[in-house]
């Protein structure tokens, strides 16, 4: 939770505890129950905040590891392609890999229609 949210929760709980202290018509056993409930809620919010901070730190660490791994893979791919005299295409040009074969997007950026190869095979006629 952000500090602002933490302050709002703390303020709301303090207000409720203050109301129980000011109320003269409230039985002591009920007042004690309300104060204990507020204490339990306060402890719960502290635990939630702690878990959130731990999860956020773990998430940032995983993002860092992914970024480093990705950079390492790109570096290794570049080094391997230089050894073989090949150029590795940028990731946005690789469509997908199927059984070890890379399919690249057409360089012209235009896709052929399904009917175009049929027209060519049938002498320009569609059936």
Domain locations along the chain = 3-92
**Rounded to 5 degrees, what are φ and ψ at 109?**
80, 5
Decide: 90 and 100 in contact? Cβ < 8 Å.
no
Decide: 92 and 99 in contact? Cβ < 8 Å.
no
- Whole-model pTM: value is 0.49
Model confidence pLDDT, tens digit, residues 45-101:
889 989 999 999 999 999 999 999 999 998 888 777 666 666 656 655 555 555 555
**Could you tell me what percent of the chain has a pLDDT over 70?**
61
User: What stretches of the chain show up as alpha helix (H) in DSSP?
Assistant: 3-22, 28-84, 115-121
Model confidence pLDDT, tens digit, residues 20-44:
888 878 888 888 888 889 889 889 9
- Token code pair at residue 7: 């302050």
Can you give the pLDDT at residue 75? 87
């Amino acid at each position: 939770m952000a500090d602002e949210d933490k302050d709002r929760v703390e303020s709301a709980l303090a207000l409720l505890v203050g109301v129980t202290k000011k109320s003269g018509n409230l039985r002591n056993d009920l007042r004690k129950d309300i104060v204990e409930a507020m204490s339990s809620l306060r402890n719960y919010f502290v635990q939630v905040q702690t878990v959130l901070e731990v999860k956020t730190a773990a998430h940032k660490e995983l993002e860092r590891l992914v970024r480093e791994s990705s950079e390492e893979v790109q570096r290794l791919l570049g080094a391997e392609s230089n050894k073989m005299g090949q150029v590795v295409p940028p990731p946005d040009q690789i469509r997908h890999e199927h059984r070890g074969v890379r399919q690249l997007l057409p360089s012209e950026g235009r896709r052929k229609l399904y009917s175009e190869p049929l027209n060519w095979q049938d002498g320009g006629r569609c059936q």
